[in-house]
């Protein structure tokens, strides 16, 4: 009886977990946006399809990526950068739809960062086996704004460390609709994603989609 009660309570609404100072996990926060969010993402991916970028070290990333917004994050053998033009199409990236802006701003506000107005949304696609090695998000010019990260589809294990690459990491399971926000003292914390486990998600199938919203330019 007790365990039933706990399961029910856990299922009915959003909850919050603190990962570090300035870093919070908002469980299920994106669920109310889902009906508008998923068609908006499908439209973006039609115009700017997922691609596997090559790192400056010459490795093909296992995660496939695309972007929307004024600028998009790209990597090629010459380095990492934000670019207003999609190098595949030669066209500007698709605009960031209002539903994405709203979700990002609301999640940031909920985490204590008001007036978050990101110019970039990096869209990552993981299939089983894909992973993202520990890294810092430091190609932006503005570290005053947080990173807002939205998880959709299959669950993944998110690794969240500290300011140094070899700081111990904690593992968090990110499920469909969960939003992680890190800023302030943890804005430059190392983070990554463990290899995605096999699975099938009811809405999105055999994949995980992650959106990271970034304020790239100086405010
Ligand atoms: C990222 O670090 O850019 C993505 C994190 C994630 O996929 O959860
Ligand atoms: Fe990142």
The tokens describing 211, both together, are: 């959106």
Q: How many helices (H) and strands (E) does the chain have?
A: 3, 13
Q: What pLDDT is recorded for position 142?
A: 87
CA–centroid distance, residue 160 to ligand 1 (Å): 10
User: Closest-lying ligand to the alpha carbon of 155?
Assistant: 1
Residue of the CA atom closest to atom 3 of ligand 1: 212
User: Closest-lying ligand to the alpha carbon of 139?
Assistant: 2
Counting every residue written for the chain, the total comes to 219
Q: Where are the beta strands (DSSP E) in 137-184?
A: 147-153, 156-160, 170-174, 179-182
Task: State which of 170, 191, 216 you would mutate to test the pocket of ligand 1, scoring each by most atoms of that ligand within 8 A of its C-beta.
Answer: 191
Give CA separation, 185 vs 6, 105, 188, in Å. 33, 19, 8
Paired with 51 in beta bridges are 65
Domain ranges in the chain are 25-214
pLDDT tens, the chain, 219 aa long:
344 444 444 445 579 999 999 999 999 999 999 999 999 999 999 999 999 999 999 999 999 999 999 999 999 989 999 999 999 999 999 999 999 999 999 999 999 999 999 999 999 999 999 999 999 999 998 899 999 999 999 999 999 999 999 999 999 999 999 999 999 999 999 999 999 999 999 999 999 999 999 999 865
Using alpha carbons, select from 74, 59, 24, 195 the residue that is nearest to residue 126: 195
Q: What pLDDT is recorded for position 153?
A: 98
Q: How many CB atoms lie within 10 A of CB 127?
A: 15
The tokens describing 47, both together, are: 């115009």
Q: Ligand 1: which atom is nearest the Cα of residue 151?
A: 8
* Distant-in-sequence, close-in-space partners of 128: CB < 8 Å, separation ≥ 6: 154, 195, 196, 197, 198, 199, 206
Q: Which CATH architecture does the domain made up of 25-214 adopt?
A: Sandwich (2.60)
Q: Whole-angstrom Cα distance, residue 19 to residue 159?
A: 10
Q: Ligand 1: which atom is nearest the Cα of residue 63?
A: 7
Q: What pLDDT is recorded for position 14?
A: 73
Using alpha carbons, select from 72, 68, 80, 69 the residue that is nearest to residue 139: 80
User: Closest-lying ligand to the alpha carbon of 154?
Assistant: 1
The backbone torsions φ and ψ at residue 171, rounded to the nearest 5 degrees and listed phi first, read -110, 130
Angle at the Cα of 189 (from 23 to 146), degrees rounded to 5?
Answer: 50
Q: What pLDDT is recorded for position 3?
A: 43
The 3-class SS string of 90-107 reads CCECCCCCHHHHHHHHHH
Q: Ligand 1: which atom is nearest the Cα of residue 124?
A: 7
Dihedral of CA atoms 149, 152, 155, 159 in degrees, nearest 10, equals -10
Q: Ligand 1: which atom is nearest the Cα of residue 212?
A: 3
Q: Whole-angstrom Cα distance, residue 185 to residue 25?
A: 15
Pocket of ligand 1 (CB under 6 A): 122, 124, 132, 149, 158, 191, 193, 210, 212
CA–centroid distance, residue 168 to ligand 1 (Å): 18
């Amino acid at each position: 009886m007790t365990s039933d009660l706990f399961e029910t309570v856990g299922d009915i609404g959003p909850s919050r977990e603190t990962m570090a100072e300035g870093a919070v996990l908002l469980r299920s926060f994106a669920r109310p946006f889902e009906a508008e969010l998923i068609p908006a993402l499908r439209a973006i991916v039609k115009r700017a399809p997922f691609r596997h970028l090559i790192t400056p070290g010459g490795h093909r990333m296992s995660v496939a990526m695309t972007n929307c917004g004024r600028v998009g994050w790209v990597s090629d053998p010459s380095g990492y950068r934000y670019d207003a033009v999609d190098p595949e199409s030669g066209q500007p990236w698709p605009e960031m739809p209002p539903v994405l802006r709203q979700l990002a701003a609301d999640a940031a506000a909920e985490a204590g960062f008001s007036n978050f107005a990101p110019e970039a949304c990096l869209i990552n696609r993981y299939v089983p086996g894909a992973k993202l090695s520990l890294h810092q998000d430091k190609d932006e010019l503005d570290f005053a704004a947080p990173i807002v990260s939205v998880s959709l589809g299959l669950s993944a294990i998110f690794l969240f460390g500290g300011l140094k690459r070899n700081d111990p990491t904690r593992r968090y399971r990110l499920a469909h609709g969960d939003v992680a926000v890190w800023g302030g003292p943890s804005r430059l914390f190392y983070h990554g994603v463990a290899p995605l486990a096999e699975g099938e998600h009811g809405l999105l199938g055999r994949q995980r989609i992650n959106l990271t919203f970034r304020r790239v330019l100086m405010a």
